A and B are shown apart, each in its own frame.
Chain A
């Protein structure tokens, strides 16, 4: 139980394009999902908290207009990186909360050329 999926697992895009990453809780409902970014050999950096049916809460320093989050249902949250640039290349990981525990997706590696 408590499986979280992410799609795609990796994506390469051109600078200036937008990329959408999906996060799904497969066998439980999650009112809260989180989006993280992880740089090589570093811990996770929380970007935003996504609540079903309401606006996401962004951490300080995270541009809400660049990283659009939509939590349309209790099992799906999406992160759209708008007008991506090479500095947005990173490993993006989502988590979904069930029984006060965060369960993580496998991550999406984004490379912006």
Chain B
């Protein structure tokens, strides 16, 4: 079955440090790839997405992600984390088709310490 793996359930980084959140998807045709962020009690906000083309995509809030086909990965990065980045981050994939269903990872909870 198609799946998305976020190996890190919880990550703590210091403010100003760099960040990388990992995401791997099960092998298959290249899906559409997404990263969403969820603050407590809120819905999900789209950070960035990859459909095709340049494998390094830029998103909002200074985030970027790199698609690596050989590793079936789509890791999210930020060079300098701010305290306001503390939230839950979800990687999601859409393998296409008429329904455009998303398959979500289990999420990574990011804590930022001063």
Contact = CB atoms under 8 A, between A and B. Distances in A.
Interface residues of A, number: 24
Contacts of A100: 32, 51, 94, 100
B106 interface: yes
Interface of A: 2, 4, 6, 32, 34, 42-44, 46, 49, 57, 91, 93, 95, 97, 100-107, 109
A91 B39 CA distance: 13
A99 to B, nearest CB: 9
B44 interface: yes
B39 to A, nearest CB: 10
Interface of B: 32, 34, 36, 41-46, 49, 51, 90, 94, 99-102, 104-107
Contacts, number: 50
Contacts of B100: 32, 97, 100, 102
B43 A32 contact: no
Given A32-B99, A46-B101, A97-B100, A104 B44 contact: yes
**B45, B90, B101: residue with the most chain A Cβ atoms closer than 10 Å:** B101
**A6, A43, A57, A109: residue with the most chain B Cβ atoms closer than 10 Å:** A43
